[in-house]
Amino acid sequence: SSKYVLSQMHPMWQGPLVVPGGDRQSPIDIAVRKTVFDSELKPLVATYDPQTCQQIWNNGYSFLVEYDDTTDKNTLKGGPLKDKFRLCQFHFHWGESNDWGSEHTVDRRLFPAELHLVHWNSDRYTLFEEAVMEENGLAVIGVFLKVGKRHEGLQKLVDALPAIRHKDSIVEFNRFDPGCLLPANIDDYWTYHGSLTTPPLTESVSWIVMKQHIEVSHDQLAVFRSLLFTSAEEVQKSMVNNFRVQQPLRGRTVRSSFT
Ligand SMILES: NS(=O)(=O)c1ccc(NC(=O)NCCO)cc1
Ligand SMILES: [Zn+2]
């Protein structure tokens, strides 16, 4: 049965959204004490080619760094995944202040921002658009951001943001290694079955949320907040608080790859 999901997460969404089923929605709170260690979970193997980076653009919701996903150049396998997945894009969610902004929470703790690396199952499907509708179609790696020392690898991205301040603006972006945004330790993660956190909210995501966060500077995060939800003709609205609120667990188990 499909349930109505009120669009609490963002004023931009008008009226209730119908989602298929609605009992595998994301994000969620990860109650650490209730996670279950699974010794069968393998280490994650992420192989990314910085040369396949194509463009960075403001989609009116976040900014996306998109990769050429027509070949198996950027793959994710292992971890909870049975198949091989292809990176298509990564993006972030953040708040208007450093006190909130992440989508997932850990024991209700909010982080100032969260990175999502979006992959689709290239063993079973030929396009993202196909995979996004399927139960085992997507794998998204979530990485929490904390405010601290400057992230040298992120700076190249930050320097490109003023050029895509408005919705639908896009610039060519080449040579960016998404691997530089992963924490040192990618063996410790939580994993559960969920959904996209923005429309179409389809329940096709194997979530892999890293236990270890990365650090970015206050100034780097401030540049995220200088982006706009709006296009050049509209009244300006700062791109902040582009996160969805935590959704009910509905009996799901969150597994951990570590004790
Ligand atoms: N926030 S999230 O759950 O990681 C997410 C990822 C991809 C999408 N959609 C998507 O990638 N659409 C096609 C090309 O951008 C929506 C939400
Ligand atoms: Zn996201």
Q: What is the mean pLDDT of the chain?
A: 93
Binding site membership of 30 for ligand 1 (Cβ less than 6 Å): no
User: What's the whole-number mean pLDDT along residues 180-197?
Assistant: 98
Binding site membership of 89 for ligand 1 (Cβ less than 6 Å): yes
Q: Categorize the per-residue pLDDT at 5 as very low, low, confident or very high, splitting at 50, 70 and 90.
A: very low
Q: Give phi and psi for 128, each to the nearest 5.
A: -55, -45
Binding site membership of 102 for ligand 1 (Cβ less than 6 Å): no
Q: Give phi and psi for 45, each to the nearest 5.
A: -120, 105
Listed residue (98, 211, 186) closest to 146, CA to CA:
98
Ligand 2 centroid vs 61 CA: distance in angstroms?
10
| ipTM for this prediction | 0.96
Q: What whole-number distance in Å separates Cα of residue 43 and Cα of residue 20?
A: 31
Binding site membership of 181 for ligand 1 (Cβ less than 6 Å): no
Q: Categorize the per-residue pLDDT at 81 as very low, low, confident or very high, splitting at 50, 70 and 90.
A: very high
Model's pTM, two decimal places?
0.94
Ligand 2 centroid vs 92 CA: distance in angstroms?
6
pLDDT in tens, 109-136: 999 999 999 999 999 999 999 999 999 9
User: Quick one: which ligand is closest to 138's CA?
Assistant: 1
Ligand 1 centroid vs 245 CA: distance in angstroms?
16
Taken in order 172, 175, 88, 100, the sign of the CA dihedral is negative
User: Quick one: which ligand is closest to 207's CA?
Assistant: 1
Which tops the pLDDT comparison, 19 or 7?
Answer: 19
Per DSSP, 72 falls in state: T
Q: What whole-number distance in Å separates Cα of residue 239 and Cα of residue 114?
A: 15
Ligand 1 centroid vs 118 CA: distance in angstroms?
7
